[in-house]
Structure 1
Amino acid sequence: MTDVPGGGPSPVRVLRESYEALMAVVEPLGDEESWVPTACTGWAARDLVFHCLGDAQRALVALHTPASGPADRDAVTYWRDWAPDPTGAANGRRWSRVGASMFLCFRQLRALYLETAAAAVRAAAATDPELRVATQGHVLTAADLMTTLAVEASIHHLDLVPHLPDAPGPSATGLAAVRTTLDGLLGRPVPLDWTDEHYARAATGRAPLTETERRSLGPDADRLPLFS
């Protein structure tokens, strides 16, 4: 199923298009390009690819981990557990940098990421969207899990490309899922004429707010980033 009857694209389609868009950036990268900086503090492209490999591995595990209990999170509330954690973030940065450095050449990491991401997409397509699955201590429907994965992939896609001028951008369906998620966390549609890309960056702390934007957001400005 590629679309929801009478509605928008299905979570399977959103995940597939988000992952395939990110894979299209990673696939042509050579060893030299893998060292370009990203929008993630301290990470080169290869470090971010290693992190995205972990996301794809988690997707595969979750899609094959049925849960017996009721769902306690959906595609929006999944992100509400996030809280600023400078120590944890620093440890995570070191983990990805060390992990990525264990690959003797980037093509090995690139190949593993591409085959794992493709496998995650195939697994999603074969999974009942209503199946309850477990991940990171929570239970979601497979459909909601797919949306969270697409949101993370789309945001990291934006992180990966600032110094890759010829790279394609994130999928439109993935960025739309990011907007829907952020609006859900904010509790209303954002009252600014932001593109999906800028909204994704600004609401996750990747782009600073101007004073005009702060005035338009009012008290909600102090709630940003909604997650990182």
Structure 2
Amino acid sequence: MSEPLGLLTTAYRDLSEVLSSLRVEEGWEPTGCAGWTPVDLGFHLLSDARRALVALNSPATGLADTDAVSYWTAWQPPAPGDEEELWSTRVAASVHGGLAGIAGRYAETSAAVLVAAARVASSDLVATQGRVLTVADLLSTLTVEAAVHHLDLVLRLHRPGPAAAPLAEVRRVLEGLLGGPLPAGWDDVTAARRGTGREPLTAGDRAELGNDAAAFPLFG
């Protein structure tokens, strides 16, 4: 199993297990995404897995125009009006059978993504969201998305967080965006949360980062 596929396998497996373990009443707890519940976030994750399945079956030609790091420059913290996306997500989630229905579909779809990823070469080019990148870089973006949202999902729930390897990939991408190392005192969970704006930088962080503090959040 290639390293990018191995990372995604771990991230998807762990996230699927958490989603499948949630009780109905836990579906309405707060998450690390402001205003989003586990039901909302679960449907967002299902949509991302469906996009991944389409991307892996959308070969591209020419040259890649983005990679595992630069992909994230387009994703910034929510802007005014983004609450409309939340409401449309909540409505769509409600017709998918709630948490149980979403968890089942996520398990099926994420498993299909892994099968599709195993059938293509890591250097193959694929298209997604109007951009072209290698399969290896696509799998990294999917791993980062899954790991960050796994942290969001378990913020108020007594469930395990993402494994060390996917979290290390989040840190690698964040450091690529920053152009240098994150503070050594941050563990990978802290790096993921502060690097994406889910936790504010402390005064000590800002002093250590210096001018680089202005770049935060690195993506959101």
Counterpart of 1:193 (choices 185, 195, 204) is: 185
- In structure 2, C-alpha distance between the alignment counterparts of 1:220 and 1:88, rounded to whole Å: 28
- In structure 1, C-alpha distance between the alignment counterparts of 2:21 and 2:75, rounded to whole Å: 33
The SS at the match of 2:82 is: helix
| Residues 150, 161 of structure 2: 8 Å contact kept | yes
Q: TM-score, normalised by structure 2?
A: 0.95
Are 1:42 and 2:19 counterparts? Answer: no
Match of residue 25 from structure 1: 18
Are 1:54 and 2:47 counterparts? Answer: yes
Among all aligned residue pairs of Structure 1 and Structure 2, give the percentage whose two residues are the same amino acid: 50
78-87 vs 57-66, greater mean Cα deviation: 78-87
Counterpart of 1:222 (choices 209, 214, 219) is: 214
Counterpart amino acid of 1:168?
P
Counterpart of 1:210 (choices 195, 202, 205) is: 202
Counterpart amino acid of 2:181?
P
Counterpart amino acid of 1:97?
R
- In structure 2, C-alpha distance between the alignment counterparts of 1:105 and 1:149, rounded to whole Å: 23
Deviation at 1:174, TM superposition (A): 0.6
Mapping 1:20-169, distance limit 5 Å: 20-87=13-80, 89-165=82-158, 167-169=159-161
- Return 5+ residue gaps in structure 1 as ranges: 3-9
For residues 167-206 of structure 1, the C-alpha deviation after alignment (integer angstroms, 9 at most, x for no partner) is: 1110211101101000000000113310000000001000
- In structure 1, C-alpha distance between the alignment counterparts of 2:205 and 2:99, rounded to whole Å: 40
Equivalent residue pairs, number: 220
Q: TM-score, normalised by structure 1?
A: 0.92
- In structure 2, C-alpha distance between the alignment counterparts of 1:21 and 1:168, rounded to whole Å: 8
Runs of 4+ in structure 1 deviating by more than 6 angstroms, as ranges, are none
Quote the RMSD (CA, aligned, Å): 1.3
- In structure 1, C-alpha distance between the alignment counterparts of 2:38 and 2:15, rounded to whole Å: 12
